[in-house]
Amino acid sequence: MDRAFQRTQILTNHLLQSSPSSPAQIPSLSSNACLNYSPPELSEGYAFDIKEMRQLLDGHHVADRDWLFGVMVQSKLFNPRVRGGKVFVSPDYNQSMEQQREMTWKRIVYLLERGVFKGWLTEKGEEAEMRRFAYFEVLGLFDHSIAIKLGVHYFLWGGAIQFFGTKHHHDKWLRDTENYLIKGCFAMTELGHGSNVRGIETVTTYDSNTGEFVINTSCESAQKYWIGGAANHATHTIVFSQLNINGTNQGVHAFIAQIRDAVGNVCPNIRIADCGHKIGLNGVDNGRIWFDNVRVPRENLLNSVADVSADGKYLSSIKDPDQRFAAFLAPLTAGRVNIAVSAVYQSKVGLAIAIRYALTRRAFSVKPNEPEVLLLDYPSHQRRLVPLLAKTYAMSFAANYLKMLYVKRTPQSNKTIHVFSSSFKAIFTWNNMQILQECREACGGQGLKTENRVGHLKGEHDVQSTFEGDNNILMQQVSKALFAEYVAAQKKNRAFQGLGLEHMNKPCPVIPSQLTSATLRCSQFQMDALCLRERDLLKRFVVDVSQHQAKGESKEHAFIMSYQLAEDLSRAFSDRAIFQKFVEAEATLAAGPLKDVLGMLRSLYALIYIEDVAFFRYGYLSVDNAAAVRREITKVCSELRPHALALVSSFGIPDAFLSPIAFNWIDANSWSSVQH
Amino acid sequence: MISCLLELFLAYEEDPNVKLVILKGKGRAFCAGGDVAAVVRDIRGDDWRAGANFFLKEFTLNYLMATYSKPQVSILNGIVMGGGAGASVHGRFRVATENSVFAMPETALGLFPDVGASYFLSRLPGFFGEYVGLTGSRLDGAEMLACGLATHFVPSTKLAMLEAALCIVDSSDPVIISSIIDQYCEQPSLKEQSVYNRLDVIDRSFSQKTVEEIISALEREVVHKMDVWISTTIQTLKKASPTSLKISLRSIREGRLQGVGQCLVREYRMVCHVMRGEVSKDFLEGCRAILLDKDKNPKWEPSKLEIVTDSRVDRYFSKMNTEEWEDLKLPTRSKHNLPVYAIAKL
């Protein structure tokens, strides 16, 4: 009865709107305070000079980069939109494939008019090459499609003319290429052959009567595939083909062929089809090309390494076909360097977005009636994102080293460049996909919106792990190179030299049985651990291969069978090499907060690799040691937490190139923004 | 006046009875800018720090206005130049009239567009900001509205009514205030000769990387056909202080990618170097020629763009290595409930 009476009272109060007789019995409704967006800048400080850190990370041409950012941000062609009071630039990925391709081309024309590509093929020297890298990195931050389209035209087509061609090719083609009077593409890959360039099936013969090469797609598997620029725009292409001279196959060579006339009609004896819609990069018109006995003049052979005389004799200064092929392909390393570096910058975008979001988004209270906890205040969230920051910083320093190695290249440094570019391209692009996935997850549902960028970047950059050399193949190359170094050192009884292998000349490092915090933070211990793994795996790999060979197998077959050790070894080499660059960068700094923070990141980088399963599998760490490493990682992550904003601000990526969830994501989604 | 305004703005922010702030001038100007002559006197008296102190207060006021938690409505019925722009453009609403004359004339004086101009000029459409900042060009009310320096245009005859309507507003909601101003608004048309109709040339030239290349691009435009406006623009640039032009260009370019606070911190460094005159004394010479002796014939030193090296320019952007000098410390804004448009500027 009491209950019924109580309910009648409540209802009466509602109807009469009178205040309750006993406030304690009837709690009043109160509205929850609305979530407010508080920018991280207001609560997080900068313990070090972020301009100085940015200079360290970008390494070069900071002002030029900012100029190019400005050129893009101020143009309507780059699709500026206002969200939450800020301007963002990013392509409209909701447009059709055709529209996206059209927009990519329009943007290129605009940038060309602004002089961005001036000197890209006609200016020589280290400074010009580094500036080109810088512009490329900036363009990639806007959109991968525009970077690829430009890369195909300038670095692949243009680079082929530069490095495979000789003076008359340079004189005829470079200026027109730089000014986009012709549009180039690069027809190497075929439906049946990608990584194995030497197996391509396009065949070219020579007609000494007319002084022409005849290029032919001999079967369907020989069609050129994935040729960027070919589906819609390209007028000319480099064609890679087997060269048959007088019945002898002289191997793969490169030729210039025109595929479209000046008004855009496909040339006779050329057939082009579209590769179709892709999971990303729909701003690039990838095409398929068939050559039906296409005739090109003799001078269209890119003849820096080999030539054919007018009467049809094959001539080459390099007698060994393997060496000839290697010399031929060596210049294509620029592409690998570009891709490796670009992957690092995409990771920076993902992390800047995810970490800024995690500094403003809250979820769950620890105690009732308390405010919810900021995502990045959870140790588990820190563990997910902060190590990725350490990896990105490490890759940044290694990327700068790789660029310098490339622009200062000499014939003697060719092999070193090949090994490092293969290793870093594979590691950076794999890391990037892992980082983007984690960042997407860390942004929850918001990570699924295309305009929030972080999720969309995955599809756009997925290709990086398989083009310009499949990552697995590249890593095999690394392990083979290390094998060769080891065998050579043993045979000639000389010290290890080059590729950072000098540590092999010293006594084997020893991991202390007790790992204190101080030891774990010490760069010498970290280097010792990574060197120990590399050294031991190299020995094991050599032993394993030798055992296979002892059974009568060929070296090639032995390599195939020892693939697991090869994989572990190439990763060990890469981790150690990248770590070395981190240590070297840290050493250039004077004592102070910048160096301290960088030191913490460096330790974190080392520790997450020491926590890697390889250290267990091969017995370098005891179970107790591994537990100590694990604990230390959590500790370093929490020490780096206060520096998270400063660390991502140091990437120097302008706000307009991030996305709405990195800023006022509440207002970006407000009803008033829907109405406008 | 800066000290007074700073005090008032700080007080109004805490006063719950104040919903919005209206700023207007008296006579033929909203505000013609800082008392440059006074600053010059300080420098001549070996006291560059007094001048720097003025800028410290002024930039603090600019920051406060840019991040203010209540809307500011500036009635720009007349001249609004230099410091006058700093006291109005950062506010939420800027009402231009047919009497408005806007300019950032600093490069002719050996200074550079300060007061957070590297923030707001860089955000004008295309490369209009570089044009306005480097040439010191004057804009009328219609042009101010077109490029976004003004948010509204109200004929001067309606200003009294507008003010009356705003005075009885009991809200800080910018949407409400905007709709009130809308009621008195008109859509002015640009003059046929308006510089805003020449955006294609402006974008082509003023997007160039260096001042030299900007001038070359403009010269290329008139190689085959005459164009009085382009030729005048070239002359104006050639008469400005070469050092000023270079530091102004770099300031605007950097400001484009920075928040308003970072812009002001950077501009404070720059203005201190200008005051101290250890890299160039163009500021003294510019004020002498234009404001004091009025011979309009300043002798710039360095006299040519080519002599102004990158390392000279760099010095303006670095910290002062004199004792007791500190970077500009801006007030923390975290205690206040900042509106969306203020948060977006950080």
**Coil, strand or helix at A75:** coil
CA proximity to A382, closest of A50, A643, A46, A53:
A643
Query: What CA–CA distances, in Å, run from A335 to A147, A413, B333?
Result: 11, 17, 47
Cβ proximity of A155 and A192 under 8 Å: no
> Are the beta carbons of B257 and A66 separated by less than 8 Å?
yes
Place of tokens 């919005």: B20
| C-beta of residue B290 within 8 angstroms of C-beta of residue B296 | yes
Q: Please tell me which residue of chain A has the smallest CA distance to B261.
A: A41
| pLDDT tens-digit readout, A368-404 | 889 999 999 999 999 999 999 999 999 999 999 999 9
Which of B253, B259, B333 lies nearest to residue A70, judging by beta carbons? B253
User: Do residues A604 and A643 touch, judged by C-beta distance below 8 A?
Assistant: no
Please state, in angstroms and rounded to a whole number, the distance separating the CA atoms of residues A444 and A361: 11
> Which residue in A295, A377, A338, A290 sits closest to A644, CA to CA?
A377
**Residue A228 annotated in ligand binding:** yes
Contact B340 A85 (CB under 8 A): yes
The pLDDT of residue A310: 95
Q: Could you say which of A64, A69, A85 has the minimum Cβ distance to residue B257?
A: A69
B contact residues 105-124, partner A, Cβ 8 Å cutoff: 122
Q: Kindly list the catalytic residues of A.
A: 468
Give A466-491 pLDDT, tens digit per residue: 999 999 999 999 999 999 999 999 99
Residues of A with CB under 8 A from a CB of B: 36-39, 41-43, 63-64, 66-67, 69-71, 73-75, 84-86, 113-115, 654-656, 663-664, 667, 672
A567, A426 contact by CB (below 8 A): no
Question: Does B207 sit within 8 Å of A71, measured CB to CB?
Answer: yes
Question: Which residues on A lie below 8 Å from B343 (Cβ)?
Answer: 37, 39, 85, 663-664, 667
Give the side-chain half-sphere CA count within 13 A for B265.
Answer: 14
Mark which residues 161-220 of B lie under 8 Å from A by CB.
175, 203-204, 207-209
pLDDT digits (tens, 9 = 90+) for A383-393: 999 999 999 99
- Going from the first residue of chain B to its last (346 residues), give the mean pLDDT of each consecutive group of 10, the final group possibly shorter: 95 95 94 88 86 94 96 98 97 98 96 97 98 98 98 97 95 95 96 96 97 97 94 97 98 97 97 93 94 92 96 96 91 86 91
Minimum-distance CB partner of B344 among A73, A114, A664: A664
- pLDDT the model gives residue A25: 47
CA distance B18 to B21: 7
Domains present along chain B, CATH in parentheses: 1-317 (3.90.226.10)
Provide the 3-class DSSP secondary structure of residue B335: coil
Nearest to B344 among A36, A86, A114 (CB): A86
Q: What is the average per-residue pLDDT within A591-604?
A: 98
Concerning whether B34 is annotated as a catalytic residue, the answer is yes
b (16+ CB within 10 A) / e for B310-332: eeebebbbeebeeeeeeebebee
- Cβ distance of B208 and A39 shorter than 8 Å: no
State how far the Cα of A559 lies from the Cα of A544, in Å rounded to an integer: 9
Residue contact A64–B209, C-beta within 8 A: yes
* Closest C-alpha among A527, A451, A408, A541 to residue A487: A541
Largest Cα–Cα separation, chain A: 116
> Distance between CA B241 and CA B215 in Å, rounded?
14
B250 near A CB under 8 A: yes
Burial class (CB in 10 A: 0-12, 13-18, 19+), A544: middle
Inter-chain CB proximity A84 and B344 less than 8 Å: yes
Contacts of A356 in chain B (CB under 8 A): none
Residue B141 bears catalytic tag: no
Contact A67 B126 (CB under 8 A): no
pLDDT at A27: 47
Helix H or strand E segment including A566: helix A563-587
Flag whether pLDDT at A633 surpasses 50.
yes
CB atoms near residue A10 (< 10 Å): 13
Question: Is there a contact between A326 and A419 (Cβ–Cβ < 8 Å)?
Answer: no
pLDDT > 70 fraction of chain A, expressed in percent and rounded? 97
Work out the minimum CA distance from B293 to partner chain A, whole angstroms.
38
pLDDT, tens digit (0-9, with 9 covering 90-100), for B188-201: 999 999 999 999 99
**If we measure between CA atoms, which residue out of A569, A563, A547 comes closest to residue A617?**
A569
Partner residue facing B343 (CB), from A43, A63, A85 = A85
Total residue length of chain B: 346
The mean per-residue pLDDT over the stretch A18-46 comes to 67
- CA A264 to CA A229: how far, in whole Å? 12
SS3 category, A98? helix
Q: How many helices (H) and strands (E) would you count in chain B?
A: 17, 8
Instruction: Encode A280-304: b = buried (16+ Cβ within 10 Å), e = exposed.
Output: bbbbbbbbbbbbeebbbebbbbbbb
Domains and CATH numbers, chain A: 50-162 (no CATH), 186-320 (2.40.110.10), 328-662 (1.20.140.10)
Q: For residue range A268-293, list pLDDT tens digits in order.
A: 999 999 999 999 999 999 999 999 99
Contact assignment for B341 to A38 by CB distance below 8 Å: no
Amino acid identity of residue A161, one-letter, is I
